[in-house]
Amino acid sequence: MNLIIRIIVTAGLVFGIAHFLPGVHVAGPFTAMVVAVVLALLNVFIKPIMVLLTLPFTIVTLGLFLLVVNGLMILLCTKIVGGFTVDSLWVAIFFSIILSLSQSIVYSIVGGDK
């Protein structure tokens, strides 16, 4: 049940952020839901591999390269989900930062544990 709530919250945040952030476009609420599911799957299966492969860059940049990895996850999601577009890597990085901060705030209010 907690997973379903997290997916719904993430979908709402994706839809809301895309509405206000120039360069991010979501076709509709259903597309936002698909984006939330795909992002969850990418974060479970692909992101750990990318973090491991980019570990030297992450160490040298004191962890800041993880922002790029998050942006790449967003761009990969745009290739998988039709109706979800992001104009550039910089916009994807900014989108991922806003999404992560928003999720942290909402999950602390809702009480969703990781």
| HEC letters along 22-35 | CCEEECCHHHHHHH
Q: How far apart are CA 112 and CA 54, in angstroms?
A: 30
Q: How far apart are CA 49 and CA 54, in angstroms?
A: 9
Q: 114 pLDDT exceeds 60? A: no
Digit-coded pLDDT (tens) for 37-86 = 999 999 999 999 999 999 999 999 999 999 999 999 999 999 999 999 99
Distances (CA, A) of 93 to 82, 89, 96, 105, 114: 20, 6, 5, 19, 22
pTM: 0.93
* Angle value at C-alpha 70, between 37 and 24, nearest 5 degrees: 70
* Residue 111 binned pLDDT confidence (cut-offs 50, 70, 90): confident
Digit-coded pLDDT (tens) for 9-37 = 999 999 999 999 999 999 999 999 999 99
